[in-house]
Amino acid sequence: MEKTQANTRINELRDILNDASRRYYVENMPTMSDYEFDMLLKELEALEAQYPELVTPDSPTQKVGSDLAATKPAKRKVAEPRKEFEQYPHRYPMLSLGNTYDITEVQAFADRAAKGIPAEETALVPFSFSCELKFDGTAICLTYKNGRLTRALTRGDGTIGDDVTENVKHIANIPQTLKGSDWPEEFEIRGEIYMPWSAFDRLNQERERDEEQPFANPRNAASGSLKLIDSKMVANRGLECTLYHMLGEDLPFSTHDQALNKAAEWGLPVSDKRRICSTISEIEEFIKYWDAERKTLPFATDGIVIKVNQMQYQEELGYTAKFPRWAVAYKFKAEQALTRLNSIDYQVGRTGAVTPVANLEPVLLSGTVVKRASLHNADQMELLDIHVGDYVYVEKGGEIIPKITGVELSQRPADAELPHFPETCPDCGAVLVRDEQEAKAFCPNQSGCPTQIKGKLVHFLSRKAMNVIAGDATIEQLYNKGLVWNPADFYELEKEHLLGLEGWKDRAAERFLKSLEDSKNTPFERVLFALGIRHVGETTAKSMARHFKNIDAMSTASREDLLAVDDIGEVIADSVLAYFADGVNTDTIERLKAAGLRFEVEKEAEQLSDTLKGMTIVISGNFSISRDQMKALIAAHGGKNSGSISGKTTFLLAGEKAGPEKLKKAESLGVRIITEKEFLEEILHEIPDQVGNDDPDTSLRGASATWQSEDFKETLF
């Protein structure tokens, strides 16, 4: 390839890889498989090797994939929100691994490593490799001081990472205090946060039931869960951790294996599925064994990591800009099967979304029989050029969610039929609509489509919503008998209604009615989630409840008011407006109010002062306390939080890495910009007295520690 052509292709590859990396690491919504990404990266590496003068420092071949958002993430349609975490530098760079799908390249790696160490050294200290399972999760770096966990950082961009310490403390198998007493005074240990299959399956079932986008694989689920806005929610996600690399000054170990064995003695979660190998044949045997046995594991693994075992050799071999020279990853290829597409069903969900589902000739894939696979939407069907009767390739995304990846055109039968996405609802016959911003088609008949109605009733009573003891069969019975049509009908049921249904006895009726009565104590944010407003998931409902405090303020909010809420973008705002504009919905809410359900936040934050009364404040960047706490602090002193800068803004409170656009707009409008220190000392100078500190000259660090105390959090929340 000529240099001009190579330069064009290099720029194209960089754009594709940078976009794929952002979607993988930041948005947790990958657009291509690991194999596709790696092949494109290898193509880029080859072109840059041919024309080294075209290599740039920001090329994907020269930098680690980053989980840090370069700017504040765009508002998303379905909220599974991130918060802006504080960021800290890594003491030691946190790099990626070079990877391969070819055993001959593993041999080449082993030969390079051996040649990099003088023969006289290897004669004294034999050369060996530690072979370990490669867990498919998200990287984590834990710091322990004096036997206690002090900080947990994500990989970030390899140089700095997000501080997720509070979230990590809710992962059950990560100890906050080590066993024994022979640990170094301070050390780091790195590993992977992952989600077992059982937790992943449960989470995606919940998301699909709530018609939220399911996670593509356990890695994305683990990464998204690690950065949840509410630390306590992390505990419910079933995350686990495995640790595989220790760093520190003067560690008392000669080999990597010794370090991991000692870490296990201290109570740290270290994988026992590793082996010390001396030859390439032993490494290959280990790879072949786990390529077959991985299907029996309770978690996802996508390969084997081969590391030089001797720590002195690791140090001598060193690093490239992106990879350690003493380690490499052998990646397993995704298992694929070819089977016949027999038919396509079109399913209606509770929000009216119509999803095409492929019915397949049963085929064995990754240890289970696959019969059905989602085709997602009409665009995906068109992209695949899929026909009924085709032979299609099926993979398991993350080896659990079946997906159709292609069509074997050479086996297309002459009578294969091109499917046509329905124009009307397969349940009620209403003409389908499609939003310009979305790929899915929807049935607009929310109040008359039986499938939507029953789906919303099931959602209303579900565990994360009103938590009423009832299953799908109960809803089906009540709906078919005309007893329940919308959620308010549940609270008008009487025992006689239930006893008139087939199979109901006194005890079952009493339990169901008591469960309904108990549900009246459900907090406002869960009642809001239970209403089933399209795009308003569990976390968005919580943010809205905290912001508006009650349903009346929410129902009269303008579009601008809704957009001022964290994690709400235009799509969600429009959905909320449409919900409250429907008289059927507002009537249901009034009936639920009359039944005794809670439609306001019970405990308002205590008003500490009116120092900020009449002020409109915009915050941007990272602070010594979380953004939610900072907003609560402003509200507690009478101020109003706003998400955008205007001529009415009193000042912009700018933390570290404040948004450049907000800074620029504030300057252009003449809005004062103040730092957190100035905010504390000049405006909230009374804070130290109010939080139990008699020194009015308290430093920002001291005040921050006080703000983060449990007593003060209770005052605000």
Residue 340, phi then psi, degrees to nearest 5: -90, 140
10 Å CB burial of residue 395 (0-12, 13-18, 19+) is: buried
For residue 243 the two structure tokens come to: 């640790």
- Cβ atoms of 215 and 274 within 8 Å: the answer is no
Q: Which of 3, 77, 115, 134 is catalytic?
A: 134
Sign of CA dihedral 263, 264, 269, 273: positive
Whether 520 is a known active-site residue: answer no
Helices (H) and strands (E) counted in the chain, each on its own, are: 28, 22
- DSSP letters, 388-426, are BT-EEEEEEETTTEEEEEEE-GGG--TT-B-----SB-T
Residues 70, 86: Cα–Cα separation, whole Å: 14
Nearest Cα residue to 42 out of 85, 128, 119, 105: 105
In 119-195, where does DSSP find H-type helix? 119-124, 165-168
For residue 331 the two structure tokens come to: 């990646």
**Residues 144, 714, 223, 153: what is their CA dihedral angle, to the nearest 10 degrees?**
-30
Nearest Cα residue to 555 out of 595, 597, 588, 521: 588
What value, to the nearest 5°, has the Cα angle with vertex 394 and ends 389 and 399? 155
- Greatest distance between any 2 Cα atoms in the chain: 90
Residues 276, 187: Cα–Cα separation, whole Å: 24
| First-to-final CA distance of the chain | 63
For residue 621 the two structure tokens come to: 């960047």
Report, as residue numbers or ranges, the catalytic residues: 134
